[in-house]
């Protein structure tokens, strides 16, 4: 289309755009940013050059070429083109400003400036009817406006010194060569933090907010908002406010798209400011336990390139894993200790990786690791090794011969390795060790002496020769808590030591190592049984005998009631406790026991029809430490009417001796001689009324604890 | 605007506190699996170069704590004067008006009770040992016996708390927690601090979790109490239908949910929980090998005594302690209850010694054989001692002893201590004559052996700095080799 149509269209666009621009600019706070628009905004720096160049050209034209004017239509095209581009650029600029990363004041200036450029460019289209001298003035004004406000844009991106002559770079202190505590806290820790994280925008190159932070004077001088240390008294120093804001806050420093402060740096700045923001206080002047001093000492200013830190010792983090610990022996040491764990996760690459620090490793623990000669070859490179643990590795003594070349190796452990007199002798010759742990039973003292003589410098630590000593086995464990057989009861007998033979009897005789049956699988009992067990193993004394009685409760009374009530603290579940088939446990306060102390235990059982009884067994608890003594005596009486009782039998039981230390269930039985059957039976259980003089509770009554009655 | 600023500041202050209390050792765990938790490497660097302060002699500790207070006069401190004056009243010049404990304060008389047991000297340093502890006696050349321990506490709870946490009041971190906080665990697959309990038949006093509590340190430093049953650590194996890869994924998901919660709430316990799940996951691999005592060779079983295979016994705990320690657990603590013989002492102490004598000696022997004794510190002792006068009725063969905090005996072995006998009590075993060692001094010395300056190793809480030795304690250089 021809230029007239073009300029017409352009003019209409400009007339539309500029009011829109004004509207957007005025209400820009209200509008939300949109990702697409933001992206378009990024084109602003690209296209802004066109209207600037064109604008300058127009100004030159208007000022100097009034006499050589172009054709009207061409002139109009250029003017329209300029205005159109200026408004486009301004629009894109508006989009870009939503990105939030620019200094607000300069941004505002530039924004409105850019808008006025667009508006003036719009106005220029209609300039032709004005007097030439006024045109020139307008043109020059336009130029000034153009240059000034676009320069603001340059400041936004390049800082205050966008146009100034580049000054020599302010060299910040070189990385501190030694950890010198005569440094001030500021020099050691604060200045490097500011240098790395802040000075790029608040320094000699860029002075955002007119704030520079590269030297104490400048920090104190401050910037647009005063010194960052202002407000230090009320703990609201500006710098603290800014660095602690949530990352999403626009005032958060450093800005979110720049490198953030680490926790360590935050802590350091925090503490330094709170302590007064002192630039001259030396680390050594602080108390040794002052966290600021500790942190400042430990702080390593990051340097370019190598991962080395301030005190010339490489960071060991890269060598550590879940199954490998690599640490300096202590803070400030250069010597390293290495520990391997969990053989199933061992990888030779981890050992190979340690070659980088091979000259610093002094202690190596490879106990139980599946290593071969290949791994040993790597270990041989650790020429400063002092202590080496190879317990339970599959190497042989021959493989280890090259270890003797490590002259610093003083302590070697090779437990579990196959050794004999001759291999050991060869190994000990000219060995640099002072101590070697081999843990082999030596049957001959003479052989041991011979070995010692080979290399007098080496202390050989061997195991105990325990073969000669015979120890008694522990008793078998009868794994069945209940003593009551309802219909049948399965009993398991255990012994922890492998290879032990457990023999048992059920006929009341003691188990014999030759004739008694051997326990192989669980036993099943259906009637009253006394189980006796004993453990045997060659090379060991036989164990003590362990026995347990199992009762079949065949007879269940129809009624049961107390004559005297149990102690208030131990009422159990009433008289039923005695016939509920539930045994109380060692924790006698668990509610399953009946206890008597101040009154004598008396209760009656009844049957609907008279029947004879042969035996009564009681399950009781004895614990001398808790003042619970054995039942002193059981008396059984019979009656047919429940009122008149005839004594049937009485059984007495021995009390505890002074030296007894017991805490266990015990059963007490009383038999009833053959005789007439009764409907009712009364039981009287006596407790010790006065504890013996040797007992701490002497003179006071002892307890009896009963929980179950068995009748046959 | 100010409120938001305040909230922002608070949020981060809380984060500082929580992350710093997680401590040096704690940082090593867990951060591998959940990368975002701690910012990059800087937090470890924060403390990585600060502890140990100097070269440690002991890398690990096994503390055999005899709960209830074993009677030093019947085990280690031989006082023939008491036998000579058996039944006579305690001279006033000896007691010198010092206070009595609540239980014997009402006694009219204080008859001296000589020990019923025969004593003999053993080893190069001539330490005296009772006939009830022959095995410990045979290890005399390794033992550093301190006869001049003293404390202020006269009853069990405050005394136990004092020994374990450095103060008679509660709520302070225990020794093991401090060690875990400062040094961490050598083996990342096991906790840094483990606790094993056993009971003897003698008169027992309780133990409770306050004694291995983390106090105000992060709860990841709490002592991990192993169960006394057949399964020291329960639920080690995954259920049938879950394989390890699935478990890993489940844990990762849970960790990221927890991480979100932590970002929102900032509760440091959440971080602990994440780390504990990680530790449990790794323990599944590491623990079964350690707790399977059945695979120990017979010579080991003989050395510790066959009881060592029965779970829950002192012998089994000693064996387990050795296995934990050689696998990198920093602090293993055993408690054996039943030493509180107020009455019937001769009978009770024989039973207790039977439980304890063989395994304690075996532990030292075992460590020595493996070349681990010089870097493992073994400690044996109770919370105070017992009186030289009898509590209750005195007979020719039987007596009881009350609590005596003023002088008692503990011994240490390995880990940089000098074997020998240190400290002397008077002829009546009542007062200390030389080298008094207070609980604080004991703590200071143990810390020193682990390469930690007890005065520098502090934690700030509620406005002031705390340390294990509180405001006291001097390193006892005489016992350090």
Shortest CB distance from A694 goes to which of B4, B188, B398?
Answer: B398
B374: left (phi over 0), alpha (psi -120 to 50) or beta: alpha
Alpha helices in A125-260 (DSSP H): 132-158, 185, 191-197, 216-221, 238-244
- What integer best gives the mean pLDDT of chain B? 86
Q: In this complex, do A328 and B49 lie within 8 Å of one another by their Cβ atoms?
A: yes
Shortest CB distance from A267 goes to which of B16, B52, B307?
Answer: B16
DSSP letter for B173, please: P
Report, in this order, helix, strand and coil percent for chain A, each rounded to 5. Answer: 35, 20, 45
Q: Which tokens is A205 given?
A: 């190159």
Span A113-153, pLDDT tens digits: 888 888 888 888 887 778 888 888 888 888 998 888 888 88
Q: In this complex, do A240 and B326 lie within 8 Å of one another by their Cβ atoms?
A: no
Residues of B in contact with A317 (CB under 8 A): 41, 44
Cβ within 8 Å of residue A416, ≥6 positions away: A391, A392, A393, A439
Q: Could you give the CA distance from residue B467 to residue B384 in angstroms, rounded to a whole number?
A: 22
The sign of the CA dihedral A229, A231, A235, A237 is: negative
Q: Could you give the CA distance from residue B340 to residue B456 in angstroms, rounded to a whole number?
A: 36
For the ranges A173-177, A706-710, B310-314, the lowest mean pLDDT is seen at A173-177
Identify from B29, B306, B471 which residue to disrupt to test chain A contact, counting A C-beta atoms within 10 A and taking the largest count. B306
CA distance A268 to chain B (A): 11
CA distance A55 to chain B (A): 44
Residues of B in contact with A417 (CB under 8 A): none
Residues of A in contact with B460 (CB under 8 A): 291
Q: Could you give the CA distance from residue A263 to residue A298 in angstroms, rounded to a whole number?
A: 14
Cβ within 8 Å of residue A10, ≥6 positions away: A77, A80, A81, A83, A84
Please indicate if any CB of chain A lies within 8 Å of the CB of B47.
Answer: yes
In chain A, what percentage of residues exceed pLDDT 90?
7
Span A550-580, pLDDT tens digits: 877 778 888 888 999 988 888 888 888 888 8
Most confident segment among A503-507, A514-518, B31-35, B424-428: B424-428
Please indicate if any CB of chain B lies within 8 Å of the CB of A569.
Answer: no
Shortest CB distance from B347 goes to which of A471, A540, A661?
Answer: A661
Most confident segment among A224-228, A678-682, A703-707, B357-361: B357-361
Average pLDDT over residues A338-350: 88
Q: Could you give the CA distance from residue A13 to residue A18 in angstroms, rounded to a whole number?
A: 9
Alpha helices in A210-262 (DSSP H): 216-221, 238-244
Cβ within 8 Å of residue A335, ≥6 positions away: A328, A329, A360, A361, A362, A363, A384
For strands B193-199 and A523-525, give the pairing: unpaired
The answer to whether the beta carbons of residues A293 and A183 sit under 8 Å apart is: no
- Does B28 have pLDDT greater than 50? no
Shortest CB distance from A322 goes to which of B32, B53, B351?
Answer: B32
pLDDT interval class at B26 (50, 70, 90): very low
For strands B193-199 and B224-225, give the pairing: parallel
pTM of the model: 0.69
Q: Could you give the CA distance from residue A236 to residue B25 in angstroms, rounded to a whole number?
A: 33
Task: Give the pLDDT confidence score for residue A29 in this predicted structure.
Answer: 66
Angstrom distances, CA of residue A611 to CA of A498, A554, A576, A592: 50, 13, 20, 28
- Does B5 have pLDDT greater than 60? no
For the ranges A224-238, A281-295, A565-579, B77-91, the lowest mean pLDDT is seen at A224-238
Q: Could you give the CA distance from residue A99 to residue B459 in angstroms, rounded to a whole number?
A: 44
Span B82-131, pLDDT tens digits: 999 998 999 989 888 888 877 888 888 899 999 999 999 999 989 999 99
Shortest CB distance from A339 goes to which of B11, B328, B368?
Answer: B328
HSE-up (13 A, CA, CB side) for residue A227: 14
For residue B75, the SS3 value is coil
- Does B35 have pLDDT greater than 60? no
Q: In this complex, do A240 and B47 lie within 8 Å of one another by their Cβ atoms?
A: no
Q: What is the ipTM of this complex?
A: 0.81
Q: In this complex, do A262 and B47 lie within 8 Å of one another by their Cβ atoms?
A: no
For residue A339, the SS3 value is strand
For the ranges A5-14, A608-617, B39-48, B314-323, the lowest mean pLDDT is seen at B39-48
Q: In this complex, do A298 and B400 lie within 8 Å of one another by their Cβ atoms?
A: no
CA distance B271 to chain A (A): 16
For the ranges A51-55, B13-17, B351-355, B432-436, the lowest mean pLDDT is seen at B13-17
Burial of B246 (0-12, 13-18, 19+ CB in 10 A): exposed
Average pLDDT over residues B356-374: 93
DSSP characters over A634-703: EEEEEESSSSS-EEEEEEE-----TT---EEEEEEEEE--S---EEEEEEEEE--SS--TTSTTTTSPPB
- Does A456 have pLDDT greater than 70? yes
The sign of the CA dihedral A353, A355, A358, A363 is: positive
Span A56-70, pLDDT tens digits: 998 898 888 878 777
Binding-face residues of B in 292-351 toward A, CB within 8 A: 294, 299, 301-303, 305-307, 309-310, 326-328, 342-344, 346-348, 351
**Nearest one of A21, A44, A252, A251 to A153, comparing CA atoms:** A44
Q: In this complex, do A696 and B400 lie within 8 Å of one another by their Cβ atoms?
A: yes
Can you state the angle between helices A49-64 and A132-158, rounded to 10 degrees?
150
Most confident segment among A27-36, B201-210, B321-330: B321-330
């Amino acid at each position: 289309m021809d230029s007239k149509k073009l300029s017409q269209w352009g003019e209409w666009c400009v007339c539309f755009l500029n009011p829109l621009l004004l509207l957007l600019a005025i209400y820009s706070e209200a509008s939300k940013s949109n990702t697409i628009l933001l992206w378009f905004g990024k084109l602003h720096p690209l296209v802004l050059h066109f209207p600037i160049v064109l604008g300058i050209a127009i100004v030159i034209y208007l000022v100097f070429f009034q006499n050589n004017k172009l054709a009207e239509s061409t002139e109009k095209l250029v003017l329209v083109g300029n205005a159109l581009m200026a408004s486009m650029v301004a629009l894109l600029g508006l989009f870009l400003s939503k990105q939030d990363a620019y200094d607000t004041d300069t941004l505002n200036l530039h924004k409105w400036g850019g808008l006025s450029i667009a508006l003036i460019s719009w106005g220029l289209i209609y300039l032709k009817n004005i007097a030439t001298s006024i045109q020139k003035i307008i043109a020059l004004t336009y130029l000034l406006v153009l240059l000034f406000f676009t320069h603001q844009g340059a400041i936004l991106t390049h800082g205050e010194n966008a146009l100034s002559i580049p000054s020599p770079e302010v060299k910040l202190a070189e990385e501190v060569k030694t950890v010198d505590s005569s440094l001030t806290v500021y020099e050691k820790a604060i200045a490097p933090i500011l240098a790395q994280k802040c000075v790029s925008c608040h320094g000699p190159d860029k002075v955002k907010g007119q704030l520079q932070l590269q030297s104490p004077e400048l920090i104190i001088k401050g910037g647009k908002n005063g010194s960052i240390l202002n407000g230090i008294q009320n703990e609201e120093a500006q710098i603290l406010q800014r660095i602690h804001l949530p990352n999403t806050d626009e005032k958060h420093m450093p800005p979110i798209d720049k490198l953030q402060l680490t926790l360590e740096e935050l802590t350091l700045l925090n503490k330094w400011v709170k302590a007064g923001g002192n630039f001259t206080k030396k680390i050594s002047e602080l108390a040794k336990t002052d966290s600021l001093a500790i942190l400042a000492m430990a702080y390593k200013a990051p340097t370019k390139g190598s991962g080395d830190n301030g005190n010339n010792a490489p960071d060991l983090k890269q060598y550590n894993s879940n199954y490998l610990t690599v640490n300096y022996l202590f803070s400030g040491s250069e010597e390293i200790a290495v520990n391997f764990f969990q053989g199933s996760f061992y990888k030779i690459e981890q050992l190979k990786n340690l070659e980088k620090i091979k000259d610093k490793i002094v202690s190596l623990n490879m106990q139980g690791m599946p290593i071969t000669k290949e791994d040993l070859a790597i270990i041989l490179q650790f020429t400063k090794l002092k202590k080496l643990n190879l317990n339970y590795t599959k190497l042989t003594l021959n493989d280890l011969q090259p270890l003797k070349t490590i002259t610093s190796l003083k302590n070697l452990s090779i437990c579990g390795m196959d050794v004999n007199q001759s291999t050991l002798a060869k190994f000990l010759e000219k060995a640099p060790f002072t101590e070697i742990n081999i843990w082999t039973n030596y049957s001959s003292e003479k052989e041991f002496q011979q070995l010692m003589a080979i290399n007098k410098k080496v202390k050989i630590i061997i195991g105990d020769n325990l073969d000669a000593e015979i120890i008694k086995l522990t008793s078998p464990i009868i794994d069945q808590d209940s003593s009551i057989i309802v219909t049948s009861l399965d009993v398991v007998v255990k012994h922890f030591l492998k290879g032990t033979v457990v023999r048992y009897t059920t006929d009341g005789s003691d188990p014999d190592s030759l004739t008694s049956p051997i326990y192989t699988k669980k036993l099943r009992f259906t009637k009253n049984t006394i189980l006796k067990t004993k453990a045997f193993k060659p090379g060991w004394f036989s164990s003590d005998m362990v026995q347990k009685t199992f009762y079949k409760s065949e007879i269940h009374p129809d009624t049961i009631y107390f004559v005297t009530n149990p102690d208030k603290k131990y009422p159990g579940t009433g008289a039923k406790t005695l016939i509920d088939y539930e045994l109380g446990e060692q924790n006698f306060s668990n509610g399953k026991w009946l206890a008597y102390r101040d009154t004598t235990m008396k209760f009656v059982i009844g049957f609907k029809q008279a029947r004879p009884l042969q035996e009564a067994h009681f399950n009781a608890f004895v614990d001398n430490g808790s003042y619970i003594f054995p039942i002193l005596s059981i008396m059984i009486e019979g009656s047919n009417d429940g009122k008149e009782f005839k004594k049937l039998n009485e059984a007495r039981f021995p009390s505890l001796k002074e030296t007894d230390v017991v805490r266990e269930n015990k059963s007490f039985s009383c038999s009833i001689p053959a005789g007439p059957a009764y409907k009712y039976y009364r039981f009287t259980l006596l407790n010790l009324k006065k504890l013996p003089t040797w007992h701490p509770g002497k003179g006071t009554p002892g307890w009896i604890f009963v929980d179950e009655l068995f009748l046959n | 605007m100010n409120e938001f600023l305040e909230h922002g500041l608070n949020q981060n202050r809380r984060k500082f506190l929580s992350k710093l209390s997680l401590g040096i050792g704690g940082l090593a765990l867990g951060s591998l699996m959940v990368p975002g938790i701690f910012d990059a490497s800087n937090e470890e660097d924060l403390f990585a170069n600060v502890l140990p302060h100097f070269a440690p002699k002991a890398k690990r500790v096994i503390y055999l704590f005899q709960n209830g207070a074993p009677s030093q006069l019947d085990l280690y401190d031989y006082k023939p004067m008491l036998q000579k004056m058996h039944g006579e009243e305690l001279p006033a010049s000896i007691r010198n008006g010092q206070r009595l404990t609540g239980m014997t304060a009402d006694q009219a008389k204080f008859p001296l009770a000589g020990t019923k047991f025969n004593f003999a000297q053993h080893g190069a340093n001539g330490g005296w040992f009772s006939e009830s502890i022959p095995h410990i006696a045979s290890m005399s050349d390794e033992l550093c016996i301190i006869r001049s321990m003293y404390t202020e506490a006269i009853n069990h709870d405050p005394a136990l708390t004092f020994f374990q946490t450095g103060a008679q009041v509660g709520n302070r971190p225990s020794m093991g927690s401090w060690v875990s906080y400062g040094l961490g665990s050598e083996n990342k697959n096991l906790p840094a601090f483990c606790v094993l309990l056993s009971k003897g038949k003698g008169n027992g006093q309780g133990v409770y979790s306050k004694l291995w509590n983390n106090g105000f340190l992060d709860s990841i430093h709490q002592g991990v109490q192993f169960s006394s049953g057949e399964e020291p650590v329960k639920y080690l194996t995954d259920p049938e239908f879950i394989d390890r890869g699935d478990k890993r994924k489940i844990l990762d998901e849970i960790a990221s949910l927890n991480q979100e919660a932590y970002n929102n709430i900032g509760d440091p316990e959440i971080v602990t929980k994440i780390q504990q799940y990680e530790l449990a996951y790794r323990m599944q691999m590491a623990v079964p090998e350690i707790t399977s005592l059945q695979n120990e060779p017979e010579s080991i079983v003989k050395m510790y005594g066959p009881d060592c295979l029965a779970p829950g016994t002192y012998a089994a705990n000693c064996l387990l302690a050795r296995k934990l320690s050689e696998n990198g657990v920093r602090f293993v603590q055993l408690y054996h209850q039943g030493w509180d013989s107020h009455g019937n002492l001769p009978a009770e102490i024989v039973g207790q010694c039977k439980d304890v004598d063989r395994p304690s000696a075996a532990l030292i022997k075992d460590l020595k054989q493996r070349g681990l004794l010089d870097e493992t510190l073994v400690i044996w002792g109770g919370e105070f001692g017992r009186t030289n006068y009898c509590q209750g009725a005195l007979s020719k063969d039987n007596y009881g002893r009350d609590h005596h905090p003023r002088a008692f005996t503990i011994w240490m072995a390995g880990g940089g201590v000098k074997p020998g006998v240190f400290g002397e009590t008077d002829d009546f075993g009542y007062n200390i004559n030389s080298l008094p060692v207070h609980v604080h001094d004991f703590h200071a010395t143990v810390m020193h052996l682990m390469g930690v300056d007890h005065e520098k190793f502090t934690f700030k809480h509620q406005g002031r700095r705390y340390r294990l030795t509180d405001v006291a304690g001097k390193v006892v250089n005489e016992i350090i080799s």
